[in-house]
Structure 1
Amino acid sequence: MCGRYTRYLSWSEIHRLYRLTTDWERQRNDAPAYNIAPTEEVVFVTAGEDGNHKLREGRWWLVPWWAKEMPKGSMFNARSETADT
């Protein structure tokens, strides 16, 4: 497991699918994105409090709420010598 993912749909297809009305600045590249890696800044769709879908921007990575800053170079795959600890 490497933590990478693919966005198969273009932004125009995502807009139609979720009925988005937001004109998001980062949508300049309408093509699908392949090989999105951990720590990349990405745009994603969330459900808003009003029930409508919204576009948000964030980092593709798990950062605990208590972390003061983004971990540098941390590994998320288990090492064989420490898998049981």
Structure 2
Amino acid sequence: GKTSLLRAIAGRHPYSGGTITLDGQDLMHPNAVQAARAGIAYVPQGREVFPLMSVTENLQTGFACLPRSEHHIPDRIYDLFPVLQQMKDR
């Protein structure tokens, strides 16, 4: 039940009743892209996806809903978390 609910909210699972509302606005059965653009994401737990990726690849997962022209890791990230720069290939 919990996983199905979370997947439905993130647009990754169909649902037959009810509504999904964000900030007072009905999302009307969102698909995953629409949900992501609204700021909703679903990150599965226990699949060990992220541990298999480098630090850079982990940071790049946030690019999906951005225009291609914005597909870069801002220097601000490395200013806030300097260790990420040193560990980017790990």
Instruction: Give the TM-score normalised by structure 2.
Output: 0.23
Higher strand share: 1
Query: Higher RCO, 1 or 2 (CA under 8 Å, sep at least 6)?
Result: 1
Instruction: Give the TM-score normalised by structure 1.
Output: 0.24
